[in-house]
Structures are given as C-alpha cells and as structure tokens.
Structure 1
Amino acid sequence: MSEIKIKQVEKLVNGQRLFEVDQLTATTGDKIGIVGRNGAGKSTLARLLTGEDIDYTGQVSVDSPIIDVAQIAPTQDRSGGQAMMARVRAALSTRPEILILDEPSSNLDESHQAWLIKQLRHYQGLLLLISHDRHLLNAVTTQTWAVRHQAFTAYAGNYADYIAVRDQQIASQQAAYVRQQRHQHDLKLAVQARHEKAQRIRKGKRSMSAGEWANSKSLREATAAKMDRSAKKLIERGDREANLTKPFTQVGFKLVATDFPNLIGKTVATATNLTLRRDQKVLLKHVSFQIKPGDRVALVGPNGSGKTTLLQAILAGQSGLTTAPTAKIGVFQQDMTVLDGHLTVWQTVRAASQLPDQTLRNVMGALGLAARFYDQSVAVLSGGELVKLQLVVILVGNYNVLMLDEPTNYLDVDALDALADYLRDYPGTVIFVSHDATFSEQVATRQLILKDQDLTDPDQVAVKAPAASDLPLLQFKYDQLMADPMAKTADIQALRDQIEAAKG
C-alpha cells in the first residue's frame, strides 16, 4: 500500500507565497486530478513529491518510489504526441507504485487519447494526473486537488464534480457578498439618519421663542448626544462584522473588424490538386479545398496525417496552394525561442500590436496574464505562461488570418474558455489544429479531415453541386432573396455559392 501525506506545507518563490497546503492525502488506487491555472504550482507540487524540490516548509511524506513523466514539447524529428506516447508506455511498463503524469494527452489524436484513458483506468497504483484536458480528467480521476487563491484543496470526484462544487461555492459567496453590501448600505443610511436627526434636535424648532430655545438647550443637547451615540454603535457594529470578498468574475470584451487589416477577396487559401509530402512520405494526394474569409477551420486527423505540414505549406505558398495577396498571417506553433527573454511581458505584447493598451490588457487578463505579470521578465515565466504570452502576441498582432498549431496544449481551463471566446468573435479567419474536442466544438465552423492521404471537406460532400440547367431557377431565387428585407445574409451567400458552382 503506497501513501502520500502533505501537511502544513508552504512553498515560496522569490520570497512570495506560491501555494500552501493544509492537508492532502492519497493512497494506492486513488486517481487524482491536479488542476488549476498555469503557474499556480501544480508541477511544483509534483517536484516536492519526487524530492526534486526540497525548498519548502511543512511535511511531505511519500513511502514508495515515484515515476514522473513531465511535460514534453514537440521536437524537430518527433511529434509531441509520439514523444509523449513513448514516455507513457515506458512508464507504465515498469508498473510503478506511484505515477505522476504532467499533461500526458497534449498532442495526442483521438485514438491515442482513447488508448491513454483505457490504460489509466486499468492502472492499479496511485495516480497523480496534472492536466487541463477535461475529457481525460472526467474519464479517469476519482478525486481532485485544485489550487485556487494560492491554496490546494481536495474535492471528491472527477473534474466535473469539482466544477459543480466550485460553482456552488462561488454562487454562495456572491449571494453572501450581495447581502452584506445591502446590509452595510442600510447601516450607512441609518447612521446618516441618526446624525441628521441629532442635528435637527440641536437646532430646535423654528416656532420656538428665544426663551423656549434657551430653556430647552440642555435637554436638546442630551437627546442629540444620545442619537449620536446610537449612530456610533451602528458604526462599531458594522466594523465588527466580517468583511466578505467579492468573487472574481472575468470581464468580457468585444473585438471589432476595424482593429485588424482588411482582407480583400473571396478566398483566403485555395488548394488545387495538391500533393503534400514530408521526408519523401506522401501525406496528401491530389486534394483540393478552399478556405473563405471568416471561416474558423479545424484541421482534423490522426497524428502524422499531415495537419502541421499542411499549415506550413499554406504559409510557404507551396505549389498547388495559393493565398490571398492581402492575407496577413499570424502563426502560433509553440516555439518559445521566438520570445526575447530579456524583455518584460508588457514590452513583448506592446511591441507586437497596434491595438490600444486597454484592449491588450483585456486580452492578457482573459488568458491569465494579469497585471502582476506586466513587469516580469519573459525568462522567468513557466511553460504554460510562455504559451499564453506567445498566443497573446499572435492574437493581438496586425493579422487578418490566424494559423494556430495546437494552441490548447498546456493552457488551463479558464484560458481555454477565454481563447475559445476570443476566436469566436475574431473578425478574421482562423485555421487551427487541436485535439481538444471541447475546444474544437466551441470554435470551429467547419472541418477539413485528413486521413489516409486524402482530405475530406464535409461541407462540400454534404452539398451536391447543382447542374448548369438549374442556373435560371437559382438566379430567380437569388433575386427574390435580394428583394426580401427579411432575408438572412447567410442564405444569400449560400445561394450565391450554388450559382457559382452551377456556372462551373
């Protein structure tokens, strides 16, 4: 029986508290999800458990050997998915008593994700799973250690169970805060009313004669003083009451098309009879597709099917591929070496964008780079924080097309939701690769599916191209829609596309 005990632990970084733990325990058979925002201390907690980090106060007890599979990024000769699968297989083959996995599903396609879930469900030891993958956490874990407000807390159940409890706690805190604010307001009004009444008593009634005013002065002063004392007691009562903190809520913001350069033309990228190779291996053979302005296209397919290579080919303008001359493409590919470690976070973002300062702050805050990061050096950021910074630099850049290769890897759930919201409102075109099913469902308006050297466009397959003989009828319907003030733009565009297809 293996056991982990963490008690009264405090971890400092540069003299500032990173996190504290009152008490956490785990034994063989537990499958624990470790969740929280990037930089909150999840990986640091793992290093405390493995003994790699001993700079803390408190008690950490681990009575069995630990196998730790840390985060890994893609390399030039091997995809991130291939590298992670190899390390997970090697770790499981040793049948470890305690296993720590840090973001193991990053870069894994759907079939390998299913394999990972199956293996972890059957694992008999003590599992600690650091992940932002909601599907993986819900499928595997039986307990959750969440770090919020610089403290780790244990919750029964998987990630969905934890979120339900957390949301209920936030709702209760918000209701209590509102009640307190209303009560404090009522106290303030009561104090003000007592002081005003005391002032009126001191002045006396206008109908009083000079003699009456003089004879009642002592009594009026005593009565007014009593009112003042009553007001003072109300103030003291308010001061003694607990001061509740307002729950944090993310303030949303909207992007507008004028924030970014305009794209002229009916297509962003076009492939015509494209054959795509990598290292002499054919990935796609004689495929064609179009990406139009405003599309949010998810490239979908198994590891090694050519998704990243296709992004690179579009960017390079490979033979068989054309892009609009006015397309300004911003590329995210998790290459942290492009960031200058000598600059601060704010200097990095400000230099990359023409947007107003407040818009930049809004985007940074939504992705988890709050004001406390502005003056930090890029060199001291955690891996997840570097991913966020590189994403912000691309998102706010002077582009009208975003090309994002696995932007969801290593992002916490709050940042994932914020990124999805941003991309849904983005006025340009988005082409992205992600194995996070929830994120893809939130963002994509269409898919291009790569498999077995072929590319399938479900939107094109689903709609049969009209024959040329249908052209008069289609033109008639188009004229009717154009004359109809209630017609939807999307319907007009769809009919226009059918007319163009009929013209051949």
Structure 2
Amino acid sequence: MDEKTVELKEVEVNFGTKESLKIETLSAYMNERIAIIGANGSGKSTLLKMIAGEFEGYTGEVETAAEFNYFAQIGEAGGVDEGFDFELLSRLDVPDNEGLSGGEATKLRLAHILSGYRPGLLLDEPTTHLDEAGVSLLIDELEYYYGTLIFVSHDRHFINSLAETIWEVSDGTVREYTGNYDDYEAQKEQERLAREREYDNFISEKKRLENAVQKQIEKAEKMKAVKKNKQDIKPDRLSSSKQKDTVQKQAFKAAKSIESRLGQLEEAAPPRAETHLKFPMPESLEIHNKFPIMAQDLTVVRGGRMLLDRVNFQFPLGKVIAITGRNGAGKSSLLEEIMNRSEGLDISPKVRIETYRQMDYKLFTDEPVIRHLMKQTDFSEPVVRSMLQNLGFSQDEVTKPLHDLSGGEATRVSLALMFVRPSNVLILDEPTNFIDLDTIEALEKFIDAYKGTVIVTSHDKYFIERVADHIYKIEDHKLVSVL
C-alpha cells in the first residue's frame, strides 16, 4: 500500500456553541485522488485548510507526512516570475497584461501552484470561472500529477474525470465513498433503497405486532364478557369457569408481552418524500409564436471589440437553449442584448423575462422566507413550499427570517425567487457558480419542470448535458449550433 500522507484523529471544529465538524479518523495516501463534496457551509474548505495548515481553530490531531501546495478558493493572482512554468502559462492562454478576467486570473493562480511540484496538492474550487477549454486543460495536467491530490469541487465532470475517492461532508461528519461522482451517486441510491426497505420492514413489523396485541386484547375481553354473563354458576361448571379465567389472564399477559416487543422495536426514519414540481403557466403569459426570440444580422460590440458579427438564430418556444464558448467570447453580452431587446432582435411582445439575480433582495428584515416569496408570485403556497423543499429547506426553515439566512440559504432563495415570479422566459448567466451540488441538482429539476423558454450560459459540461435541448457555441464571432 502507498504511504499515508494525511491523517486526522478525533478532530472537532466548533464555531461558538455550534458544532460544525467532527471527524473520528480520516486518512489519505500517496497517489490517492480525493474529491470533497457537500453543501455550502458544511466545512469543505475548512477541512482543506486544516490539511494545508491554514486553519488552527480545531481540537484533535491533523498530521501530514508530505508537503502540500494549496490553491485557495479566493486569492490574488499576483505577477509572473521566474518560478513559473511558461509553457503551462502559454497553454492556459493567459494574456501578458493587467486587468485579467475572472477566468484568466484563476488560470494564472493555477499556473503558479502547478509550476512548483510538491508531493501533495490541495485545490479549493479550481474550476470557478474557467471555460470548458480551461477545465479540460486542467484535467489533462492533473491526470499526470504524481502525489496526493485532494480537491473541493461542485463540477461533476471534473470530479468524474479525476476522483477515485469521495469525501462527503454532511451533518457535521465526513463519510468516505469509493470511486468518482457517478459511483458516489450509485452508492447513495443504494443507501436510499436500503433505508426505504428498512422503513417498510419497520412499518410492516409494527403493524403485525399491533394487530397481534389487538387480537389478544379482543380475546381477553371476550372471555371477560362471557364470565360476566354467567350469573349462576353450578358446582360442576366451576372448573370450566376457572379455565376461562386462565385463558383470559394468558391473553392479557400475551398482549403485554407483545406490547413490550413493540416498545423495543427499533424506530426507522421515513424516507424523504419526493415532491414533483409543477409550474403552471398563466394564460396571460402563454406564447403561441414558435420562435419567440430571433436574431437577424445581430452584431455585438463591447469596448471596441467585435464579439458577434451579423449572427442569425431562432430560439424555439419552451426549450432550454445553452450558450457555450471560451471566456470573453461574448456569452454574457448576448444575454444582455436579449434582455435589452436590442436592435437586430425580433422578440415577441408577449415575452416576459426573469433573470437570476443572486441575493438581489435585502436581508435586513424579519420577514419569513415563505411570506417574502408569496408576495411575489401567483402560485399557491403548497407549490412554493414544494419548491423550497426541493431546495433543501425544512418546514421549519421556510419560516426563518431573511436576515438570519446563511450565504448558501440566501442563494437558494434567490433561485426560488426567479421561478416564482411571473415569466415565460428565464435567462441564467453561469447559475452554477458558487452553488453546491445539491442546489445544482435542484436547479436542474426546476428547469425541467419550467414550462417556458430557458436561455443559459455555463461552463459546467455536466450541467449543460443534463438540461439543454439545444446547444450553441460562440466561435470566431459566430453563433454555431452544436446540438
């Protein structure tokens, strides 16, 4: 077996009185490739920082037997120096100037980390802002990395391409799964089915025991009624009466015994009910135009730079349209043109657009989540509660004041707001950035249930494959259909 490079023992992390993370034992070995996944705020980055030696607010032991390079989720790009691998810098296509875009800054920071080899590598959300080409190049680089690779990511394509082990951070603990993300999902499905069987067996056994108790009680009560009706008992029938007394007592005794077994029956939690989302489309928002958004010789220029040169397209009604392309190709600018109904576009007058605006409402209010959403929708309260449940909110949490929301919760409310507001066209610009895997999967369900047209840009290949009906790519100033 390869040598152990990381070991955590009896580790606890607490913020105030709230326990955040508790790990009995966790290890990583040389050449192991581990993806850390979990909800926002669950402790993924904290776990990575502990291994990197960047966080000391814990009890227990964190031992490393190798030196690690650490790529933080947020950091400064810095400048290019002699320590850089300039060939890697060139392949990452980082321009030699200031004012780098988010994706270019991420590439520069990655080049800096990957230029100096160490036998351990820790990466916190390394694909954020990277375009598809950048993600592919990073995967190629890491496939040839020799050492312990541990990374936090919500990019399922990235995880599938590299991970051999999954660390799931959830409910204050870390659980380990073998394989990549697809393998992890298969194992989670098996766990879900096992819980369902356990619950079904519990309900079946509980019902059987309850029926048995009832039968014994009915038997005892029947004996009691028979005895009461016998007012005159002749001497030769005394023995018969005593036998019935004995049967009655045995029935009551059997009932108590079964009740005792019923009380000792190990409780099984009911499986979480799957709620099917439905977004009814009001008649006032129905569109009968087969192509509600079209372009004729649309040209888009930003800062004197040509992004789109006389492009033509027809976006069909009720479909999910994905716009892909490298960083800076003009994806966001195209969405802006559509939202502004710019010249060169033919947009149906009945089109009503809603966009994803992250945390676009004031959090400094005591107004509960459910009440805030109900003020902005025509949907019934059960529909809105169903949406919040799919986003991971419990029935108690939907009454939580807005100003008490965590960052992850606020983001999920922002997604819910987009879907509850009246619309027939949704525009989403990189919606999977900064949201966890559970929320991404909830978003996929929402998009599938939405009755209108969706236009989305994303570098998340896995997400695009799951939601898109039509895929376009901006290439050489043109919008090219690839699906």
Q: Could you say which TM-score interval applies, normalised by the shorter chain?
A: 0.7 to 0.9
Q: Of residues 355, 359, 379 in structure 2, which corresponds to 1:355?
A: 379
- 1:54 aligns with 56
Cα distance in 2 for residues equivalent to 1:413 and 1:106: 14
Query: Distance between the aligned counterparts of 1:293 and 1:161, measured in 2?
Result: 36
C-alpha contact 2:206 2:265 (8 A) present in aligned 1:
no
Q: In the alignment, is the contact (CA less than 8 A) between 1:10 and 1:56 conserved in 2? A: yes
**2:5 paired with 1:3:** yes
Work out which of the residue numbers 428, 447, 460 in structure 2 matches 1:423: 447
1:83-122 deviation per Cα after TM superposition (whole angstroms, max 9, x unaligned): 3222222221232443322222233222211111111222
2:124 aligns with: 102
* Matched position secondary structure for 1:210: coil
Paired amino acid for 1:230:
A
- 1:380 Cα shift? 6.0
Which residue of the partner structure matches residue 248 of structure 2?
224
Q: After superposition, where does 1:462-473 map in structure 2 within 5 Å?
A: none
Report the secondary structure of 2:438's partner residue. Answer: helix
Aligned AA for 2:196?
A: Q
1:212-244 superposed Cα distances (whole Å, 9 cap, x missing partner):
599455543332122111111111122223222
More helix by share: 1
Distance in 2, Cα, partners of 1:106 & 1:212: 94
Provide the residue aligned with 1:118 in structure 2: 140
Cα 1:30–1:108 change in 2 (3 A) is same
TM-score (norm 2): 0.85
- Whole-angstrom distance in 2 between the partners of 1:411 and 1:190: 51
Question: 1:81 aligned to 92, 99, 103, which one?
Answer: 103
Q: Deviation of residue 351 (structure 1)? A: 4.1
> What is the Cα deviation at residue 354 of structure 1?
3.2
Is 1:411 paired with 2:438? no
Write the letter of the residue equivalent to 2:141: Q
* Secondary structure of 2:42 counterpart: coil
Residue 408 of structure 1, CA deviation:
1.9
User: What does the per-residue CA deviation read over 1:336-389, in whole Å, with 9 as the maximum and x for residues that have no partner?
Assistant: 4x2323135445534443322222221122122334543556566555444322
Q: Match for 1:413: what amino acid? A: L
Q: Which runs of 5+ in 2 are unaligned?
A: 78-98
Cα distance in structure 1, aligned partners of 2:481 and 2:180: 36
Residues 353 and 227 (structure 1), Cα distance of their counterparts in 2 relative to 1, 3 Å cut: same
Greater mean alpha carbon deviation, residues 244-253 or residues 446-455? 244-253
> What is the rounded CA distance, in whole Å, between the counterparts of 1:44 and 1:382 in structure 2?
16
Q: Offset of 1:404 from its aligned partner?
A: 0.3
Structure 1: which 5+ runs fail to align?
460-504
Q: Aligned match of 1:30 in 2, 23, 32?
A: 32
Residue aligned with 1:341, SS: coil
Residue from 151, 175, 183 that aligns with 1:129:
151
1:204 partner SS: helix
Contact kept in structure 2, 1:24 and 1:153, CA below 8 Å: no
* Cα distance in 1 for residues equivalent to 2:357 and 2:100: 15
The letter of the residue matching 1:188 is: E
Q: How many residues align?
A: 455
Aligned Cα RMSD in Å? 2.9
Q: Does 1:273 align with 2:300?
A: no
Structure 2 counterpart of 1:398: 422
Partners of 1:379 and 1:49 lie apart in 2 by: 33
Contact 1:38 1:382 in 2 (8 A): no
Query: How far apart are residue 269 of structure 1 and its match?
Result: 2.1
CA deviations on 1:125-177 (whole Å, 9 max, x unpaired) are: 32211112222112111211112343211222222222222222222232122
* CA distance in 1 between partners of 2:153 and 2:420 (Å): 27
On the 8 A contact 2:11/2:24 being kept in 1, the answer is yes
Match of 1:91 in 2: 113
Q: Once the 2 structures are TM-superposed, how far is the Cα of residue 438 of structure 1 from its aligned partner? A: 2.7
Partner secondary structure for residue 228 of structure 1: helix
Structure 1 373/203 Cα, relative in aligned 2: closer, same or farther at 3 Å? closer
Paired with 1:79 and 1:390, the residues of 2 have a C-alpha distance of: 25
Farther-moved stretch of structure 1 (152-161 vs 398-407): 152-161
User: Are 1:260 and 1:399, in contact at CA under 8 Å, matched by a contact in 2?
Assistant: no
Paired letter, 1:191: V
Task: Check the 8 A contact 1:21/1:153 in 2, yes or no.
Answer: no
% of aligned pairs identical? 31
The change in CA–CA distance for 1:95 and 1:20 in structure 2 (over 3 A counts) is same
Q: What is the rounded CA distance, in whole Å, between the counterparts of 1:15 and 1:454 in structure 2?
A: 56
Structure 1 residues 45, 377: closer, same or farther in 2, change over 3 A? farther
Cα deviation per residue 1:164-220 (whole Å; 9 max; x = unaligned)? 222222222321221121111101100100000000011117995632599455543
Structure 1 residues 427, 283: CA separation in 2 closer, same or farther (over 3 Å shift)? same
Any residues of structure 2 matched to 1:138-287 within 5 Å, and which?
138-204=160-226, 210-211=232-233, 215=238, 218-258=242-282, 261-263=285-287, 265-287=289-311
| Structure-2 change in CA distance of 1:320 and 1:72 (3 Å) | farther
Q: 1:39 aligns with which of 34, 38, 41?
A: 41
